Amino acid sequence: MSNQEDRFDFSDSENHGNQGERYRKSSEDKNDNGKADGINWGDKIFSMIQESAESMDFAELSHNIQKTIDVAREETMKQVDKARTEAAKQIDRAKEEAARQVDKAKEEAAKQIDKARGYQSSQAYVNVGHGRKVIAGKLKKNPGLYSGPAEIAVGAAGLGAFGGAGIGLGAFLGAVAFPIGAAITSAAVMIPFTIVSAFLLGRGILNSKRARRIRKYASIWTGKPYVMIEDLESRVGWDRKKILKDIHFLTDRELIIGAELDAGETCLMLTDESKQQYASAMAAKRQREQEEVKAREAEEALKAAPFEQREIHRIKKDGQEYLEQLAELKKEIVSDEMRRKVEQMETLTARIFVCASEHPESISQTDRLFKYYFPSVLKLLKVYEDVEKQPVQGENIRKTKKEIEDSLDTMNQALEKLFDEMFQNVAMDISSDIQVLEVMLKQDGLTEDGIHADQKEPMLKL
């Protein structure tokens, strides 16, 4: 025992007592969390160590310390659970009133923001069934708004209690020359609880920050039929990726009443009407895309088509564009007589285009119309429209209008002549076809003369 006595020399009881007293005072000053139900677990552990040191019996010391730590841990967890339960009750009692106050503040803030930005004061609403409506963009709840601070408080308290207890215990055991391994093992018991407390603290901080961001979003979009993500980004000043992540968090959990993010993630729709408008716009977009695809396919097919077919397509396209311009100018003309002249030109032009498309050999006759005559006609009609709108119809204006009207008559006469010439070529082709048909019928004895000649004998004999 002499070696043990040399190793654990506690003969200086006064010095030893002073050291224990300093530890107890230090423990009391640093942290009161070591107390549970009136028990100071630090003093209890210190007493155990002191008794073992005085008796030089360390056989049960580690077991007793571990047992004491387990009891302290259970008591501490009970206190933490009790604190969490009480905090939850307080949060529940405050939620309803706080939610009303927050909603009122959000609506008022949204009105002020809208007024400052020039938005309309009318609010958008969403039907929620049974004849009830709620303001568009209203949050069912904002996760983390109340639970976040509670988790921060519990996590911080636990981190201080368990972390401080572990560090203090390890330091004390090391100070009294306790075996290093046993000291570390005893202190390590607090590590899991310290980790859990740190996790609660970190999660509480993240949830609380997100809740504040969501509250800012809601103050912007509340009462709106929709909100553009670009507008949201410019007003809050946060990263677009973070904003979309927060919105997905809300929409995935259906926390915004009636909200839906568009496929391109550019707009958050908050009412049924905005969703219907979006669906209609998307349908129109798909139709335009299909038409563009068909147009490209037709263009590619036209490039590979024979020259004659390409010319027919060209004349149809040019003719349609010209007729559309005539129709637009006719709408602005007041004079009934002039409108009648334009309508006559429309009819003649349409017939010429049809004839040219059916008989490509006539296309060359229409090219001069597009190059020279039609541009002049459109220019004259625009001038007529302008002078007709003048409030004072003086002599010069009346003279100009009369000259344009006469020019239109001349143009219509030229179109009639051109159509007649084109039809004459068609008529000549038809006459040739008729002559060929008559010859063939006569050769087959199917004409009137041939039928009488064959009636000398009956065609059938019974």
Q: At residue 248, does pLDDT exceed 60?
A: yes
Residue 27: predicted pLDDT: 45
Residue 337: predicted pLDDT: 93
User: Please, where are the H alpha helices in 222-271?
Assistant: 229-236, 240-252
Report d(CA 232, CA 417) in Å as an integer.
66
Q: Are the beta carbons of 310 and 302 closer than 8 angstroms? A: yes
Q: At residue 354, does pLDDT exceed 60?
A: yes
Terminal C-alpha separation, the chain: 155
Residue 178 CA to its chain's centroid (Å): 64
Q: At residue 78, does pLDDT exceed 60?
A: yes
Q: What is the pTM of this model?
A: 0.44
Q: At residue 235, does pLDDT exceed 50?
A: yes
Residue 409: predicted pLDDT: 93
Residue 22: predicted pLDDT: 45
Q: At residue 125, does pLDDT exceed 90?
A: no
Residue 311: predicted pLDDT: 81
pLDDT for 361-415, tens place per residue?
Answer: 777 777 777 778 888 899 999 999 999 988 888 899 999 999 999 999 999 998 9
Highest mean pLDDT pick, 22-26, 57-61, 164-168, 278-282: 278-282
Q: Pick the closest to residue 260 from 239, 284, 282 (CA basis).
A: 282
Which is more confident, 271 or 38? 271
Supply the mean pLDDT for the chain.
76
CA distance to 16, 33, 72, 253, 386, per residue, from 161 (Å): 27, 6, 12, 36, 90
Residue 90: predicted pLDDT: 75
> DSSP letters of 142-176?
-TTTTHHHHHHHHHHHHIIIIIHHHHHHHHHHHHT
pLDDT for 144-188, tens place per residue?
Answer: 888 888 988 888 888 777 766 666 655 555 555 555 555 555 556
Of 79-88, 341-350, 395-404, which gets the smallest average pLDDT?
79-88
**Average pLDDT for 182-205:** 75
Q: At residue 63, does pLDDT exceed 70?
A: no
Helices 191-221 and 147-158 sit at what angle, rounded to 10 degrees?
160
Report d(CA 414, CA 356) in Å as an integer.
16
**Average pLDDT for 231-256:** 92
